[in-house]
Amino acid sequence: MFLFSSFIKIITIILPLLIAVAYMTLAERKVMAAIQRRKGPNIVGVFGLLQPLADGLKLFVKETILPSSANIIIFILAPVLTFLLALISWCVIPLGEGMVYSDINIGVLYILAISSLGVYGIITSGWASNSKYAFLGALRSAAQMVSYEVSIGLIIINVLLCSGSLNFTEIVLAQQSIWFVIPLFPIFIMFYISILAETNRAPFDLPEAEAELVAGYNVEYSAMGFALFFLGEYANMILMCSLTTILFFGGWLPPFNFAILHWISPTIWFGLKTTFLLFGFIWVRSSFPRYRYDQLMRLGWKILLPLSLAWVFLISGILLGFNWLL
């Protein structure tokens, strides 16, 4: 009975996530088309709503090409690892009070550990492809993810100091009076920039730079191998925006403490906030040019890292001062 209930819980997390990933691709193409004053996908289904299903079917039935010089076992396992890591991160994300697969007290550490492991799927794919373009893309991605994870960790420490817990549910409940985005707005901006770089999104999509690296670490992949990388990237985008919602926007809590707002489902509030942040990802991609690699590293190590460290000292000092006065 326990196994059956666990299976049902897993399905209720994974199926909506896969549907969200599929329609995130459509939303991205539609929004970018609107920003650039052109038409997006509008042929397959009403208003192009069946386009993600058509794309998924095409990738599923295409032939998987395995390069003759590749290390086949690692080459096949790399996208599977990336996709699985993107899925298992969702175990600790609460969509509402009590609506979480595993409400552990070290949820933040769990997310940081899993996101760190994501580097392995990318760097092994580049190495196993035995292609210089894929390998350069993998090295870029690994360096970029490691660089910005340091800043993300320090930024999250500020939220932990304010909430006093590593449990995501308690972090959300600590924001009942005021969302952390208001007192910690500069930290939120730094966090948003960092998660753009962490997920290899524009303007920090250097590992997939078409001009110099063709398509980066997944250049040798086709069919379902490419699809798994694609699904993993978009699942990570949704995960990072959900994490931002929990840390800064009060999770499932409504914006004001009005009785009428509490009639709306907590999951809907959570989804609306996450969708708003995902729209920001698309808006940034269609508006900003790509950074040079040295600019990317300079921003991470020379600007965001010192600033996030300074904010840790500032927030710690303010909290200690208030505790001393009380």
Nearest to 72 by CA among 26, 125, 20, 31: 125
What is the CA 48 to chain-centroid distance, rounded? 25
Contact predicate 122/82, CB 8 Å: yes
Half-sphere exposure of 184 (CA within 13 A, CB side): 33
Element (H, E) at 152: helix 132-163
Q: Which two tokens stand for residue 13?
A: 């997390």
Contacts of 61 (CB under 8 A, 6+ apart): none
* Helices of type H across 199-258: 210-213, 223-248
CB distance 4 to 96 below 8 Å:
no
- Which two three-digit tokens encode residue 15? 């199926």
- Please say whether the beta carbons of 60 and 225 come within 8 A: no
d(CA 70, CA 130): 5
Q: Which residues contact 294 (CB under 8 A, 6 or more apart)?
A: none
C-alpha closest to that of 241 among 9, 51, 21: 21
225-262 per-position pLDDT tens digit: 888 888 888 999 999 999 999 999 988 888 877 667 77
| Burial class, 256, CB count within 10 angstroms (exposed 0-12 / middle 13-18 / buried 19+) | exposed
b/e string for 62-72 if b means 16 or more Cβ within 10 A?
A: eeeeeeeebee
**Spatial distance between the Cα atoms of 56 and 234, rounded to a whole number of angstroms:** 14
Nearest to 282 by CA among 237, 227, 230, 215: 237
308 to each of 58, 154, 305, how far by Cα in Å?
44, 6, 5
Give, for all 326 residues of the chain, the pLDDT tens digit: 667 777 788 888 888 888 898 899 999 999 999 998 888 888 888 888 889 899 889 888 888 888 888 888 998 898 899 899 988 989 899 888 878 888 888 889 999 999 888 888 888 888 898 888 888 888 888 888 888 889 999 999 999 999 988 999 999 999 988 899 999 999 999 999 999 988 888 788 876 665 555 667 778 888 888 888 888 889 999 999 999 999 999 888 888 776 677 777 888 889 999 999 999 999 998 888 888 888 888 998 999 999 999 999 999 999 988 888 76
Retrieve residue 193's tokens: 């920039």
**Bond prior to 67 in cis (omega within 30° of 0):** no
DSSP output for 252-268: T--SS--GGGGGS-HHH
Q: How many residues does the structure list for the chain?
A: 326
